Structure 1
Amino acid sequence: MLQTALQRYINNFKGFSREIWILTIITFINRAGTMVLPFLSKYLNEDLHFSYSQVGWIMVCFGAGSLLGSWLGGKLTDKIGFYRIMIFSLLFSGLGMFTLVFIKSFTGLCIGMFILMSIADMFRPAMFVSLGAYAKPENRTRALTLVRLAINLGFAAGPAMGGLIIMGIGYEGLFWVDGTSCIVAILVFWLLVKEKKKSKFQDKEHPGEVLTTSVFKDKPFWFFLSMCLITGILFFQLFNTIPLYHKKQFSLTEFQTGLLLTMNGIMIFFLEMPIVSYVERKSINKIKVVTLGCFLMAISFFLLLVSGFTSVLVMMMIVMTFAEMFAFPFSNSVALSRAPKGHEGRYMAIYTMSFSLAHIFSPMIGMEMIDKFSFSSNWILMGSFGLIGTILGIITYQLVQKERLKKQLS
């Protein structure tokens, strides 16, 4: 029985091209080095002594840069190809991390974060297009999941290591490690992966189906994106308000906060690929799965209202992790499935921009709520957002079902 389960788990990782594995490895190197994000709000608040409101605005600039970077990445990928954008983005975001060490003023950090994220998040739409170029069509969802596993395994290693680095040499050490990991990751990519000139995204002679209607008229897609925006706002609380709550309410060290995030990454590493394979094998509707993920995120925030004992933080993280495993890999897949053949890049750029918007709204709303009211008020608001997102998911499912019925009748 155990051997069968182990063999089935291993089978989930078969059938990928060499380039997909290299992309996965460089993503892991990069994410393992991304130790700054979980501790950024703590660094700004505790080391540089900015108010919660100021921290919120710096994180808004972080999100605004992410939004611009996602849009630029999608545009420039179509113009000059994913390969050059990926190399440019990782190289210069690594160098940018080194520069941030020396910026201490509020205005300087707002500008620095905006520029850094404008460069760093050009990587995401380019990476999605690279998966389309290097993965077989039948492996695309699993390839996306494999890269997400690398991200989460990197996040599992990163925060615990980051907590130790902070306790050893201070917050500034995180910026040096993160910058170095970006440069190492892109050197590995440049040395081992050659640019694929021909892919269905770039083949001008055979562009696939003509996009007869604008993406902006795709009503189910926009309801779905609204739910994705909400799941993003909820999820990014893990990196801005929740680490502050750990310290203020429970006096957790950076290392202990890092261990909770490490638990999240380990759970995802072992469970996400089997969940994805099960959903695909049973042909479960992916919009339903994403909607369930949004609902579980709402529950995870309502759990934080029980603030009397530390174990609630573990319970919250377990529920949030399952929510993440249901919401994120399948939302990628739903966004891709809405795109006509040959126009996936455009849809994925808009999809990634929804999470960039979440980067803006999540800290802005969260930090203002805890600054003006309380942590509990923020958890109630976030849980309520999650319930609204769940309703949007149900509406999306109904619209898609009507759409399919209409096609069958015509």
Structure 2
Amino acid sequence: MITETWRTVAGLAAPLRTLFSTTLIFRTGTMAYPFLAPHLLLNGGLDAAAAGLTVTGFGVGALAADLAAGRLLGRMHPHTLMQAGFLLGAAVLAVVPLLHGLPALAAGVLVWGFAYEIVTPAAYAATIAGSAPAERKVAFSCYRLAINVGMAAGPVLGALLFAIDPYAVFWANALCVLAAAAHLHARRDGIRRRPASAGGRQAVHHPVRERPSLPERTRFWAVFGLSLPVQLAYALPSVFAGTYVIVGLGLPGYWAGIVFTVNALGIVLFEVPLNVRMARVGDLPTLLTGYALAGAGFLLMALADTGPELVLATLVWTAGEIVVFPGLLDYVSRLSGPGADRNMSLFSGGVNLAFITAPQLALHLSGPGHPGTPWAAAGAAVCAACLLLLAARTHPYTWHKEELCTSAT
């Protein structure tokens, strides 16, 4: 599987290979955010409530970036916007360790969240520009692979640095972001000259855009709404799995680590090969499969009482993640037409909205007598969304009828 994944990444068009390597450097450098709260409590002079508010500001800044990205991409090349995000992010990371007090730290972290997240919709736009529709599901899965590999390595490196010097983790993160910017700049010629055979839209952006039609707009908002249960469900593992395993089920803490490891290995080993094989599978069967696996996996999490049962449930919802996220990104890019930049940015905003909301929902739904309720609610919501997908496909205002793909990567 690793060999096949490597061949697929190596076979990407040059702009997408550059995007992959840039994303890998950037996400591997994401080592400061997991240690932001400890830094605020130990070195920033904040109490728990103020630290929580400041960390939430990161999500607010990220959401603002998603809302602004569509307009910015109408005026800038995606990679120019990525470069701007990198440079702003590196500058903020260098300053945050020197700030003290709630106003200064909250403002710095909010700007950091904006700079960090503005890269994502720009990368989505670059993926669309560098791939033909038939190749896009694979292209998005490769982009997600770079994110997941980088995000697996970054916190480990950050933990080592934080133990040595809490300030060093921010400066090392800034250097990695600058390295990503330098790598992207060094390969700018290959990025901007996309082969005509690549299919997608032109890489040069113009501020004048055709206004999406009413059906195009309603189709996007239909899938956006139906994607929110999936986004919320997949925000749960990172914010709730540890609490559920250790506090809710009373299992040893290493089972939480096993859950995270199984999920990460599943994505790294199987996401790209599986999406290569599903490149010609239609949008509806792809999404229905992903939603069904996700819903079943999270319902199994609610029923799990032992470590092996947790692993089984994790395998099921990981399979859903592998299918549903490239499928959703592919479908949104297909239905968006001239509004692709705006729609992909708004879709990315849904991800951040879920990560802001999920901890609060988990806190309110869980309790001593029913620790698995957040998982059950997530699974039920995803299953309901799966049924609504079947209903949505019957009307042109809620479903985009895809063109048949004649080629695949």
CA distance in 1, matches of 2:24, 2:285: 29
Aligned partner of 2:182 among 161, 177, 187: 187
CA distance in 1, matches of 2:35, 2:332: 31
AA aligned opposite 2:308: S
Deviation, 1:28, is 1.0
Number of the residue aligned with 1:297: 294
AA aligned opposite 1:227: L
Native 8 Å contact 1:227 1:389 kept in 2: yes
Number of the residue aligned with 1:25: 21
CA distance in 1, matches of 2:97, 2:388: 41
CA distance in 2, matches of 1:45, 1:284: 49
AA aligned opposite 1:123: V
Number of the residue aligned with 2:213: 213
Percent of pairs identical after alignment? 19
Aligned partner of 1:337 among 334, 338, 359: 334
**What's the TM-score once normalised by structure 1's chain length?**
0.79
Number of the residue aligned with 2:407: none
SS in 1 for 2:192: coil
Number of the residue aligned with 1:272: 271
Q: Which moved more, 1:391-400 or 1:7-16?
A: 7-16
Number of the residue aligned with 1:231: 230
**1:241-390, aligned counterparts within 5 Å?**
241-248=240-247, 249-252=250-253, 260-280=259-279, 283-306=280-303, 308-340=305-337, 342-370=338-366, 375-390=371-386
CA distance in 2, matches of 1:286, 1:278: 14
Number of the residue aligned with 1:202: 204
Deviation, 1:328, is 0.6
Deviation, 1:388, is 2.9
CA distance in 1, matches of 2:304, 2:283: 34
CA distance in 2, matches of 1:104, 1:193: 38
1:274-310, CA deviations, whole angstroms, 9 ceiling, x for partnerless residues?
Answer: 2112222xx3222332233233333333333346433
CA 1:172–1:404: 2 relative to 1, 3 Å = closer
Aligned partner of 1:178 among 157, 173, 176: 173
CA 1:162–1:79: 2 relative to 1, 3 Å = same
Q: Which runs of 5+ in 2 are unaligned?
A: 195-200, 404-409
Number of the residue aligned with 1:50: 48
Native 8 Å contact 1:34 1:178 kept in 2: yes
Native 8 Å contact 2:392 2:399 kept in 1: no
Q: CA RMSD in A?
A: 3.8
CA distance in 1, matches of 2:326, 2:284: 11
Native 8 Å contact 1:93 1:120 kept in 2: yes
CA distance in 2, matches of 1:242, 1:11: 34
1:151-172, CA deviations, whole angstroms, 9 ceiling, x for partnerless residues?
Answer: 1222333344455556x44776
Native 8 Å contact 1:63 1:358 kept in 2: no
CA 1:402–1:162: 2 relative to 1, 3 Å = closer
CA 1:377–1:38: 2 relative to 1, 3 Å = farther
Number of the residue aligned with 1:89: 85
Deviation, 1:186, is 1.4
CA 1:112–1:212: 2 relative to 1, 3 Å = closer
Deviation, 1:231, is 1.2
Native 8 Å contact 2:138 2:275 kept in 1: yes
AA aligned opposite 1:188: H
**What's the TM-score once normalised by structure 2's chain length?**
0.79
